């Protein structure tokens, strides 16, 4: 009898294939199976679920640490996962993981995040998918606690799978792991503030400097849990229908 094949884990991110975070996540994925890193060839943070439709996509082979075979894609995180699924992988992945992002993807950040969108794209394509982010933006942050959290969640998902249409969004502080708690996405927003300046040609330009606002009072939200030093784990979905309203709205004739 042939040995059962090791699971294939597709690793993506939005900080680009050169980031420390993707290497840290690939190391954890490597403990569970074969690793394929297919990720943007440059920084793509906050591109959300953008896809490339009017320019060609290119992928070039890339080796990380002389250890992981990867492909650097000239597109967005969602492009990378689509291209991996469609063209670049010789077998279907058993799991898609995205990260470790340098910066939190809790609260409203989930919506802007390329890291989360790579995982969501995995879910759309029918693969169990997890997004992993560290609340610390520093490239040199201690990611060992994030890796420990990712290890627990990857182990769980490989054993139990995930319901169709559901992605897991994991955030963890830098440093040692204090524990993982299930969380709601915090009700939060940015108060957008722009700094207006003038360029050397005397034209105005603007730089976004949004301030984050937590609007949640229930402390079971992801941001409050992270503030207490725990990792937060939130099941999220790409079906954006407001089901709580839909039945009532159907009564209204338009």
Nearer to Mn ion, 15 or 222 (CB): 15
The CB-of-168 to Mn ion minimum distance in angstroms stands at 18
Q: Given the DSSP bridges, would you call strands 231-237 and 166-172 parallel, antiparallel or unpaired?
A: antiparallel
Least distance in Å: CB of 96 to Mn ion? 16
Please tell me the total number of residues recorded for the chain in this structure: 254
Nearest to Mn ion of 76, 232 (CB atom): 76
Q: Name the minimum Å distance from CB 105 to Mn ion.
A: 8
Min dist CB 217 to Mn ion, Å, is 29
Q: Could you give the CA distance from residue 22 to residue 38 in angstroms, rounded to a whole number?
A: 10
Closer residue to Mn ion (CB): 123 or 133: 133
CB of 131 to Mn ion, least distance (A): 11
- Pairwise CA distance, residues 36 & 198, whole Å: 45
Q: What are phi and psi of 103, to 5 degrees?
A: 130, 150
Which residues neighbour 225 within 8 Å (Cβ) at sequence distance 6 or greater? Answer: 181, 183, 219, 231, 232
Binding site for Mn ion (CB under 5 A): 14-15, 45, 101
**Residue 76 and residue 44 in contact, taking contact as beta carbons nearer than 8 Å:** yes
User: What is the distance between the alpha carbons of residues 6 and 217, in angstroms, rounded to a whole number?
Assistant: 44
CB of 115 to Mn ion, least distance (A): 5
Closest approach of Mn ion to the CB of residue 78, in Å: 14
Q: Which residue is nearest to Mn ion (CB)?
A: 45
Comparing CB distances to Mn ion, the nearer of 8 and 108 is 108
With CA atoms as reference, report the closest residue to 96 among 130, 132, 133.
130
Q: Toward Mn ion, which CB reaches closer, 126 or 210? A: 210
Q: Which is nearer to Mn ion, 29 or 131 (CB)?
A: 131
Terminal C-alpha separation, the chain = 64
Measure the CA–CA gap between 140 and 215, rounded to whole angstroms.
31
The dihedrals phi and psi of 111, each to the nearest 5 degrees, come to -70, -35
Q: Within a 10 A sphere around the Cβ of 48, how many other Cβ atoms?
A: 17
Distance (Å, whole) CA 211 – CA 136: 17
Q: Of 15 and 94, which has the nearer Cβ to Mn ion?
A: 15
């Amino acid at each position: 009898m042939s040995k059962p094949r090791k699971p294939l884990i597709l690793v993506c991110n939005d900080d680009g294939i050169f980031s420390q975070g993707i290497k840290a996540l690939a190391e954890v994925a490597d403990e569970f199976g074969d690793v394929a890193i297919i990720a943007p060839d440059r920084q793509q943070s906050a591109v959300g679920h953008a896809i490339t439709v009017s320019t060609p996509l290119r992928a070039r082979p890339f080796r990380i640490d002389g250890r992981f075979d990867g492909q650097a894609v000239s597109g967005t995180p969602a492009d990378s996962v689509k291209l991996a699924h469609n063209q670049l992988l010789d077998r279907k992945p058993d799991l898609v993981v995205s990260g470790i992002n340098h910066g939190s993807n809790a609260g409203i950040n989930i919506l802007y995040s390329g890291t989360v969108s790579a995982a969501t794209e995995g879910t759309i394509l029918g693969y169990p998918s997890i997004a992993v982010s560290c609340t610390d933006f520093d490239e040199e942050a201690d990611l060992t606690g994030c890796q420990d959290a990712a290890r627990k969640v990857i182990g769980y998902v490989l054993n139990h799978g995930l319901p169709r249409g559901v992605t897991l969004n994991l955030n963890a502080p830098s440093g040692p792991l204090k524990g993982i708690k299930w969380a709601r996405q915090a009700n939060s927003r940015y108060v957008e503030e722009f700094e207006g300046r003038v360029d050397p040609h005397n034209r105005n330009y603007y730089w976004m400097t949004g301030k984050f606002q937590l609007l949640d009072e229930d402390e079971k939200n992801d941001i409050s849990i992270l503030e207490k030093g725990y990792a937060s784990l939130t099941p999220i979905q790409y079906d954006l229908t407001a089901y709580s309203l839909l039945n009532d709205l159907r009564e209204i004739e338009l």
